[in-house]
A and B are shown apart, each in its own frame.
Chain A
Amino acid sequence: MAKVYFSEDHEWISVEGGVGIVGITEYAQEQLGDVVFVELPELGTEVEKGDDVAVVESVKAASEVYSPVSGEIVEINEDLAEAPGLVNQHAEADGWFYKIVLSDETELDDLMNRKDYDAFVEDLD
């Protein structure tokens, strides 16, 4: 059973068997507005936790996406090239960005669970 974690930069990561699926949260997509382009990392890239690995663009804004964990990028969501709107429609499902093989699962301890993240977002508004 996959377990989902959240970062203060509004990324989510769903981890199962040492592999994480990363995307931006529902809250983040609402803030951005209509997503028009997602620049994804290259396959095989080794990233450190906190690296800017992707850029998500709306008409009037561009935001860096910081990797919530360290590891190697093993898959990217090719569908986003044709349909960046998936990020708006299903931010926390079909609108995922990349899959990463975690190099240090203890990094997950620094992230929030759903309940804590919801409270975190509540405080921002």
Chain B
Amino acid sequence: MRYLPLSADDRAEMLDAIGAASVEDLFCDIPADVRASGVFDLPDHQGEMAVEQAFSALAQKSLSPACAPTFLGAGAYRHHIPAAVDALIQRGEFLTSYTPYQPEISQGTLQALFEFQTQVCLLTGMEVANASMYDAATACAEAALMAARVTRRKAVLISGGVHPHYIDVIRTQLAFTGIACDRLAPDPLGIEDLLGRVSPDLACVVVQTPGFFGGLSDFSALAAQCHANGVLLVVAVAEPVSLGALKPPGEMGADIVVVDGSSLGMPLSFGGPGVGLFAVREKYVRNMPGRLVGQTVDVDGRRGWVLTLSTREQHIRREKATSNICTNSGLCALAFSIHVALLGDTGLAKLAEVNHAAAVALSRKLAAVKGVKIVGPAFFNEFAVMLPKPAAEVVEALAAKGILGGVPVSRFYPSFPELENLMLVAATETNSDADMDALVAALKEVLQ
């Protein structure tokens, strides 16, 4: 077996040194009848070629976005990843290293994470960022918990423009903590009244821009209203490319910013693994969850980096920790960071322009299709369209024509009949004019 170096002779010699007759004897603490029950209805080992063939067969059973014009978003966006990103994260020193608890032999990971934290601060306009979370949805839940710790209040309010998965994860995570969770109805038009609902009972208000339905918001007035009531404003961003063009949440007065980083540097991978970015105002740093890398010096006075402020974490505080998390999304954070490093200021700004212009171009083409209506206000690279029939049917019909045309909102909100005909459509730098024309032509046929 190719992953196991011990030979039969090695095993015999080692058993001899231990003074045991067999490997089985080493398991003597496990009740014998339990050991005997270990009969498994599973195949035996296979060579690399056989396993590869099995996975190739699985891959053939799906429609790859590489082979189909793709306009899917709803919190996951298809972007081109520079080849250097994957080459670098596959270096064994990054891929196969452990969490950097031993800083003397982990300066590579630590410096990269320190740079990542800085990039996140710059992109979001915030003061401090951690070394990443599992994903944006769990990061939103952590943000709500953190707000409750900071304010010592027991209620959160969630905008209807927040991604429904983020909402569900917040609700699940708060369910057993005694923190009440009020979420507003899905809001495709961007008309909900949050300002009027801010009260001194709330720990935080959670909002998103661009919103789940694509709409843009400036939360400056909401931030002021929150702060006047001692409430924290949590702003989620599902599409980090938007930060290349849009006013960052930090400038709007956000107290906690959560970003889904997976648009940059990592493949879609059916939605995971991704990475959650998490940034806060400096005064809240000790209430922040997640790992933090800090700068310091070594005994020779040379600059270096260590994990720091770890007394917030579960391995020290146990049940009083800020979170139960003990991992971040290290390699995904690295991929994000390398992609951002490659783009730089001008590259990210241009990528954002290309995305926005693609979406504007597509929206104009779709608006010309009979029966299709663009819904909602200004958007970045995704918008909602109202169709003359149920979006789920349209999407299936488009897929049958080899086009991944959009995401039906009913997939998230099956019990809202008024959303049944609503479809989310995204465009990125990966979409050609030919892709867009193919979508328009197919949609015309499907709607006939």
A and B touch in the complex (CB under 8 A): yes
Contact B316 A62 (CB under 8 A): yes
**Complex Cα distance A62/B320, Å?**
10
Give 1 or 0 for each of B299-341: 1 = CB within 8 Å of chain A CB.
0000000000011000011001000000000000000000000
Query: In whole angstroms, what is the CA distance A30 to B301 when docked?
Result: 26
17 A-B pairs (CB sep. < 8 Å): A36-B311, A37-B286, A37-B311, A39-B286, A57-B311, A58-B311, A59-B310, A59-B311, A60-B310, A60-B311, A60-B316, A61-B311, A61-B316, A62-B311, A62-B316, A62-B317, A62-B320
Number of interface residues of B (CB under 8 A): 6
Q: How far is the CA of A59 from the CA of B311 in the complex (A)?
A: 7
Which of chain B's residues 158-208 have a Cβ closer than 8 Å to chain A? none
Q: How far is the CA of A23 from the CA of B310 in the complex (A)?
A: 24
Mask: chain A, 45-70; 1 = CB below 8 Å from B; 0 = not: 00000000000011111100000000
B419, chain A: closest CB distance, angstroms: 46
- Chain B residues in the interface with A (C-beta under 8 A): 286, 310-311, 316-317, 320
Closest residue on chain B to residue A39 by CB atoms: B286
Cα A58 to Cα B309 with chains together (Å): 9
Contacts from A to B (Cβ < 8 Å): 36-37, 39, 57-62
Chain B nearest CB from A93 CB (Å) reads 25
Contacts of B316 in A (CB 8 A): 60-62
Q: Which of B286, B311, B316 has the largest count of A CB atoms less than 10 A from its CB?
A: B311
Closest to B315 in A: A60
Whole-angstrom distance from the CB of B20 to the nearest CB of chain A? Answer: 38
Distance in angstroms from B313 CB to nearest chain A CB is 10
Q: Assuming A39-B286, A60-B316, what are 15 further A-B pairs, CB within 8 angstroms?
A: A36-B311, A37-B286, A37-B311, A57-B311, A58-B311, A59-B310, A59-B311, A60-B310, A60-B311, A61-B311, A61-B316, A62-B311, A62-B316, A62-B317, A62-B320
Chain A residues, Cβ within 8 Å of B286: 37, 39
Chain A residues, Cβ within 8 Å of B320: 62
Most B CB contacts (10 A, CB to CB) among A37, A58, A59 go to A59
Q: How many Å lie between the Cα of A19 and that of B316 in the bound state? A: 34
Q: Which residues of the partner chain B approach A62 to less than 8 Å between Cβ atoms?
A: 311, 316-317, 320
Complex CA–CA separation, A109 to B320 (angstroms) = 31
A57 partner residues in chain B, CB cutoff 8 A:
311
With a 10 A CB-CB cut-off, give which of A39, A59, A61, A62 has the most chain B CB atoms: A62
Complex-state Cα separation, A59 to B312, whole angstroms: 11
Which residues of A are found within 8 Å of B311, using beta-carbon distances? 36-37, 57-62
